[in-house]
Amino acid sequence: MANPDFEDLVDTFEFLDDWEDRYRHVIDMGKAMDPLEDALRVPATKVDGCASQVWLVPTISDGTFRFRGDSDAMIVRGLIAVLKTLYSDQPVSEITRIDAVAELGRLGLNDHLSAQRSNGLRAMVARIRETAAAA
């Protein structure tokens, strides 16, 4: 079982009747995020392996993992928001224990993303896990 915020997202997805409604919800989550400043859109924060441009800026403070992110594609911004719901505000020691594939599967994302988007999502999860493991 994931954190309470992610459980709320799972409940929301169960309430939504079809994938189009869920897709719109993911996009709306991305629209609600603050944009990343241009100064943080640098090669060091860029995630390779994504069809769209993606930047993730993780921070670890007092043992708690957080990150900010952005993308030039609205659906990818939404996927970043989903990952923030799954990972942010978690103890850094727990980040590598989260089974992202299983948790995101509860949302049905595995069945509805293109191969490129799925690869990008895996690349973002890998970056998050690498950052946490290095800490």
Just list the catalytic residues: 50
Q: How big is the chain by its Cα radius of gyration, in Å?
A: 14
Instruction: Count the Cβ atoms, other than its own, within 10 Å of residue 98.
Output: 19
Query: What are the structure tokens assigned to 82, written together?
Result: 């989903």
CA 80/CA 78 separation, integer angstroms: 5
